[in-house]
């Protein structure tokens, strides 16, 4: 579907920007929407492409600027809309959960209720999260029940269920894509992989919440973009697809790997901190369906992805050191 037109909601997000770059490289026309303005080039890989790229960005907030978003979409008529937009961050969602519910549920439902009326829409790829399942200690299939344990996860489960109802009642062409933890060059600095790398390179202490016992899988941004491209091209509407490495690591193991790649002693860099409220212990998704039906495979090992991210941090360290390393919430 590379010759098609794509609209990206949340185009300044880490995975959103990576997908913009992938789609443009494939020759697609792309429009992107994000409530924040475009930031530094180091977080936007499509900026490395030729200046005459087929990409146009609109600063627009789904809560306040829905008429503008719909006007642009109806003029552009993308066959595929990819949805990365929404309030992120698990721990922070406890502080003002209404913000998460307003953005991730109410505003999205209003968007979907308008999009269902447009005949040009062929696929709506909803980028969801394994946190809708809650903490699990076994491989999760796509048919697994929802058991969210934070306002963040509740908001994602709710909009996924709403989209399923829209599909059943209106034939809304949604394809659900649930991913393991994103990482790679260009990721927000407060995420565990770049943050650990920055600490390792600069002698800072890394706060390891709960000692890093929670278990995760990691997917490099290029493999994320490839999964979305495949879901858009060949995913069956109404279906859920999991995209995950088959290798599961504790956060401590991930940080130990980063320390080994950089050449820093783990014990000298890490401080154990209290765990975050409501954090799930493990997400173990089975991605065999995406492999069998979409031909998707993980192509970047965690070690190779860490090395690429280390190179990115080193290349941009001067600029990175002038930026906040902690998450800054925007209401």
pLDDT given for residue 304 in this prediction: 98
Q: Is residue 198 part of a domain?
A: yes
Q: Is residue 231 part of a domain?
A: yes
Whether the predicted pLDDT of 49 surpasses 60: yes
Structure tokens at 279: 């954090």
Whether the predicted pLDDT of 105 surpasses 60: yes
Q: Which run of H or of E encompasses 250?
A: strand 249-250
Specify whether 137 is located in the same domain as 36. Answer: yes
- The CATH number of the domain where 13 resides is what? 3.40.50.720
Specify whether 15 is located in the same domain as 155. Answer: yes
Point out which residues pair with 134 in neighbouring strands. none
Specify whether 212 is located in the same domain as 233. Answer: no
Q: Is residue 288 part of a domain?
A: no
Whether the predicted pLDDT of 1 surpasses 60: no
Specify whether 212 is located in the same domain as 309. Answer: yes
Residues 6 or more apart in contact with residue 125 via CB below 8 angstroms? 80, 81, 82, 83, 174, 175, 177, 228, 231, 232, 235
Average confidence score pLDDT of the chain:
93
Mean of pLDDT values over 180-196? 95
Specify whether 112 is located in the same domain as 197. Answer: no
Q: Is residue 16 part of a domain?
A: yes
* CB burial readout 177-193, b (16+ within 10 A) else e: bbbbbbbbbbbbbeebb
Q: What is the dihedral of CA 25, 129, 251, 297, to 10 degrees?
A: -50
Whether the predicted pLDDT of 92 surpasses 90: no
Q: Is residue 224 part of a domain?
A: yes
Contact (CB, 8 A) for 251 and 23:
no
Q: Which run of H or of E encompasses 262?
A: helix 251-262
Whether the predicted pLDDT of 324 surpasses 70: yes
Specify whether 148 is located in the same domain as 211. Answer: no
Specify whether 278 is located in the same domain as 252. Answer: yes
Displacement of CA 42 from its chain's centroid (Å): 17
CA separation for the pair 238, 53 (Å, rounded)? 32
Whether the predicted pLDDT of 78 surpasses 70: yes
Point out which residues pair with 207 in neighbouring strands. 271
| 3-state SS assignment for residue 248 | coil
- pLDDT digits over 116-129, tens only? 999 999 999 999 99
- What confidence category does residue 93 fall into, taking pLDDT thresholds of 50, 70 and 90? confident
Q: How many helices and strands in the chain, by DSSP H and E?
A: 12, 13
Domain count, the chain: 2
- What confidence category does residue 88 fall into, taking pLDDT thresholds of 50, 70 and 90? confident
Mean of pLDDT values over 244-260? 95
Q: Is residue 291 part of a domain?
A: no
What is the span of the domain harbouring residue 308?
A: 188-216+247-283+299-320
- What confidence category does residue 91 fall into, taking pLDDT thresholds of 50, 70 and 90? confident
Mean of pLDDT values over 209-237? 95
- What confidence category does residue 4 fall into, taking pLDDT thresholds of 50, 70 and 90? confident
Mean of pLDDT values over 191-199? 96
Least-confidence region, from 50-59, 113-122, 223-232: 50-59
**Computed over its alpha carbons, how large is the radius of gyration of the chain?**
19
Q: Is residue 237 part of a domain?
A: yes
Mean of pLDDT values over 129-134? 92
- The CATH number of the domain where 195 resides is what? 3.90.25.10
Specify whether 236 is located in the same domain as 264. Answer: no
Mean of pLDDT values over 275-283? 69
Specify whether 168 is located in the same domain as 271. Answer: no
Write out the DSSP string of 157-217: HHHHHHHHHHHHHH---EEEEEESEEESTT--TTSHHHHHHHHHHHTPPEEEEGGG--EE-
- DSSP summary character for residue 240: E
Specify whether 46 is located in the same domain as 127. Answer: yes
| 3-state SS assignment for residue 112 | helix
Whether the predicted pLDDT of 16 surpasses 70: yes
Specify whether 210 is located in the same domain as 223. Answer: no
Q: Is residue 326 part of a domain?
A: no
pLDDT given for residue 2 in this prediction: 46
Specify whether 48 is located in the same domain as 88. Answer: yes
């Amino acid at each position: 579907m590379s010759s098609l037109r794509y609209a990206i909601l949340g185009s300044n997000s880490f995975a959103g920007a990576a997908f913009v770059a992938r789609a443009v490289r494939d020759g697609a026309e792309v429009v992107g929407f994000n409530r924040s303005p475009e930031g530094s080039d180091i977080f936007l890989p499509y900026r490395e492409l030729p200046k005459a790229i087929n990409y146009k960005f609109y600063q627009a907030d789904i809560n306040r600027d829905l008429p503008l978003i719909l006007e642009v979409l109806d003029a552009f008529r993308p066959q595929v809309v990819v949805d990365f937009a929404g309030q992120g961050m698990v721990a922070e969602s406890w502080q003002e959960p209404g913000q998460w519910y307003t953005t991730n549920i109410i505003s999205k439902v209003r968007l979907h209720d308008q999009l269902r009326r447009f005949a040009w829409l062929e696929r709506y790829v909803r980028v969801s999260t394994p946190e809708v399942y809650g903490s699990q200690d076994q491989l999760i299939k796509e048919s697994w029940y929802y058991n969210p344990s934070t306002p963040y996860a509740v908001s994602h489960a709710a909009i996924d269920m709403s989209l399923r109802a829209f599909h059943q009642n209106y034939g809304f062409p949604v394809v659900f894509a649930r991913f393991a933890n994103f990482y790679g060059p260009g990721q927000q600095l407060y995420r565990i992989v770049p943050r650990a790398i920055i600490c390792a390179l600069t002698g800072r202490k890394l706060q390891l919440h709960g000692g890093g016992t929670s278990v995760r899988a990691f997917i490099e941004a290029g493999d994320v973009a490839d999964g979305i491209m495949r879901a858009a091209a060949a995913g069956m509407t109404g279906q859920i697809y999991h995209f995950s490495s088959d290798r599961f690591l504790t956060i401590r193991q991930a940080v130990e790997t980063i320390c080994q790649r950089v050449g820093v002693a783990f014990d000298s860099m890490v401080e154990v901190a209290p765990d975050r409220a409501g954090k799930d212990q493990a997400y173990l998704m089975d991605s065999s369906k995406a492999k069998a039906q979409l031909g998707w495979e993980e192509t970047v090992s965690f070690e190779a992805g860490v090395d690429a991210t280390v190179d990115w941090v080193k290349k941009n360290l001067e600029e990175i050191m002038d930026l906040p390393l902690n998450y800054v919430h925007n209401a």
